[in-house]
Chains A and B, each alone.
Chain A
């Protein structure tokens, strides 16, 4: 592998990993928000029932 091969390998791995982490973070955040909304809805319906 030539010098540019090593450079592109390093840059590709780093930016690829950071993008994967960013997308996984956004997905985890959306899932958590969805769960929170469900819990709040259940809480409200419980209070209404009381």
Chain B
């Protein structure tokens, strides 16, 4: 048991070192190596944060969805811990995506915020999962809180396909995808140097995400152990 804990700690440490190295390389590629955009100039460099942030948030909410489905099926604390941890990180990355988008929107659209379909649906996504975290803290009965949160976690995930399709379904200010287009391959539409910078930053965000997730999962495990010890002592 002690050996496996040590092994997990070492694995997390290696993941953290890899993540921060990738972040440093990503910063260099995004701020120095990649060329400025022909139309937007240097402000387009925000894309190297914006796209990886939202993709990380989507991955996080997908894990909430998986963890929630598994919890409702098997009622194992491990799955609930995965959903809860991923929701916390998803809220962080969604909030950061909205802030980055707002900063990018000011010089390109002339406004910090507009009630565009994609922006509004992303704000709704943030509200749903902030509600998910609040719900967990407001219900005293641990099992009831986990079941209610799991249901919300599954329903909330339905917002993601709506966000993705919003630029096709409605007339929006937000541009359609540049990378994942049905009519063109990514390298036909984007400069290869920009694509490489995006790839490095995406890898950096993914490594960082899994590093943060492994730390958050460990915190959840320790908290669950504290709760079971208290229960066994009859403190509740």
Indicate if B128 sits at the interface (CB-CB under 8 A).
Answer: no
One of B59-67, B145-153, B182-190, B217-225 at the interface: B217-225
Indicate if B162 sits at the interface (CB-CB under 8 A).
Answer: no
User: Are A10 and B49 within 8 A (Cβ)?
Assistant: yes
The verdict on A25 contacting B215 (CB below 8 Å), with A6-B104, A6-B106 known, is yes
Kindly count the residue-residue contacts between A and B in the assembled complex, taking CB atoms under 8 Å apart.
78
A interface, over-half SS:
helix
Q: Within the complex, what minimum Cβ distance (angstroms) separates A48 from chain B?
A: 15
Interface bracket on B? 20 to 34
Q: In chain A between 10 and 41, which residues have their CB closer than 8 angstroms to a CB of chain B?
A: 10-11, 13-15, 17-18, 21-22, 25-26, 28-29, 32-33, 35-36, 39-40
B interface, over-half SS:
helix
Binding site for A on B (CB under 8 A): 23, 27, 31, 41-43, 45-46, 49, 53, 92, 95-96, 99-100, 103-104, 106-107, 208, 212, 215-216, 218-219, 222-223, 225-226, 229-230, 233
A-B contact sample (19 more), CB < 8 A, given A6-B103, A7-B43, A39-B233: A1-B107, A3-B42, A3-B43, A3-B107, A6-B43, A6-B107, A10-B49, A11-B27, A14-B96, A14-B100, A15-B23, A18-B208, A18-B212, A25-B219, A29-B215, A36-B226, A39-B229, A39-B230, A43-B233
